[in-house]
Amino acid sequence: MKNDLLMFLIVGIVALSCKSNNIEINGKLINPTKKEYIYLDELQPDKLVTVDSAMVSEDGTFTFSRNIENPSFYLLKTDETNFLTMLLEPGQNIKISAYRDSLNYPVNISGSKGTIKMNDYNIELRKTISQLTSLREVYLQNLATPDMPVVMDRLDSLANIYLNNLNAFTKKYIDENLTSLISMVALYQQVAPNEYVLHPEKDLKYFVKVDSALFLKYPEYEPVKSLHEQVQSLVADFKGKELSSPAAEGGAIAPEISLPGPRGDTIKLSSTRGKVVLLDFWASWCAPCRRENPSLVKAYEMYHGKGFEIFQVSLDKTREAWLKGIEDDHLEKWLHVSDVKYWNSIVVPLYSIESIPANFLLDKDGRIIASNLRGDMLQVKLEEVLGMEAIK
Asked if 304 and 328 touch (Cβ cutoff 8 Å), the reply is no
CB 246 within 8 A of CB 254: no
Please state at what angle helix 376-391 crosses helix 204-217, rounded to 10 degrees: 90
Q: Are residues 382 and 257 in the same domain?
A: yes
| Domain identity same for 300 and 319 | yes
* pTM (2 d.p.): 0.61
Residues 196 and 134 in one domain: yes
Number of domains in the chain: 3
Q: What is the pLDDT of residue 264?
A: 92
What per-residue confidence (pLDDT) applies to 254? 87
| Same domain as 135, residue 213 | yes
* Residue ranges, the chain, pLDDT below 50: 1-2, 5-19, 242-250, 389-392
Q: Which domain holds residue 357?
A: 247-288+296-391
Q: What is the pLDDT of residue 84?
A: 93
How far is the C-alpha of 278 from the C-alpha of 240, rounded, in Å?
19
Nearest residue to 126 (alpha-carbon basis) of 154, 152, 102: 102
At residue 244, what is the residue type?
A: S
Which of 384, 380, 362 has the alpha carbon at shortest distance from 371? 362
In a domain, 253, yes or no: yes
CA nearest to 138, candidates 126, 148, 127: 148
Give the pLDDT score at 124.
95
Residues 165 and 33 occupy one common structural domain: no
CATH number at residue 59: 2.60.40
Q: Using CA atoms, how far apart are residues 333 and 357, in angstroms rounded to an integer?
A: 19
Q: Are 145 and 217 in a shared domain?
A: yes
Alpha carbon distances (Å) from 188 to 24, 240, 370, 387: 28, 24, 27, 32
Q: Is position 14 within any domain?
A: no
Contacts of 109 (CB under 8 A, 6+ apart): 94, 95, 96, 115, 116, 119
Convert the pLDDT of each residue in 222-269 to its tens digit: 899 999 998 888 877 765 554 444 444 447 788 889 999 999 999 999
Q: What is the CATH number of the domain that holds 369?
A: 3.40.30.10
Same domain, 223 and 177: yes
Question: Which of 177, 208, 241 is the last residue in one of the domains?
Answer: 241
Q: Return the closest-CA partner of residue 89 out of 179, 3, 8.
A: 179
Q: What pLDDT, in 10s, does the model give residues 41-67?
A: 998 877 889 999 999 999 999 999 999
Residues 145-161 pLDDT 10s:
888 888 888 888 898 89
